Amino acid sequence: MPVIAPMPAARPARIPSQRDGGADDVVAAGTTVDHLTETYRAHYRSLLGLAALLLDDTASCEDVVQEAFIRVHSARKRVRDPEKTLAYLRQTVVNLSRSALRRRILGLKLLSKPMPDMASAEEGAYDLLERDSLIKAMKGLQRRQREVLVLRYFADMTEAQVASTLGISLGSVKAYGSRGIAALRVAMEAPV
């Protein structure tokens, strides 16, 4: 999914410090605002790409990356080595993406589950009649045909498993199954 990132505006003007009467405002230890601005210009798109790999929509990716820059800006005095700013940003993007996914999953779990589609009373009665006629037709089959069909379709066994269970050959399972289904079709279509 392509992610479109806004390009940052031109370099912001420096605000003179009140302490030293107009000299540039530089943080003694840690990341400067200028360094964050340059990091933003250089790595915003790559961080957006990282978020896009972890999240599924562009808006969430942009939110995560912007929040990461806000958090790094807030903690810039604690980031002693300016070279580690990008690593700190990447880790923050990953952590914020995880949090966003956790919130989504929790939201999905808390959504009320819709009521299952309920069959009408007529449909329920028809299903009951159909099931009864199937049971009656199954009772009318030969013993081996019934055993093969029950194991094959109701117990969900493979033909080889049915052959092993009944102690008959694979060809016999296929023959009994084919004849049993044909007999069921005739019995189910016959008027009651």
The per-residue pLDDT for range 114-143, each reduced to its tens digit, is: 666 776 777 777 778 888 888 888 888 999
Question: Rounded distance, CA 192 to CA 171, Å?
Answer: 33
> pTM for this one?
0.44
Question: Rounded distance, CA 179 to CA 156, Å?
Answer: 18
Question: Rounded distance, CA 14 to CA 32, Å?
Answer: 12
Question: Rounded distance, CA 94 to CA 105, Å?
Answer: 17
Residues 20-43: pLDDT tens digits? 444 444 444 456 778 888 888 888
- The CATH code of domain 132-191 reads 1.10.10.10
Fold of the domain spanning 30-110: Rna Polymerase Sigma Factor; Chain: A (1.10.1740)
CB-based burial label for 94 (10 Å; 0-12, 13-18, 19+): middle
Domain locations in the chain?
30-110, 132-191
Contact (CB, 8 A) for 70 and 63: no
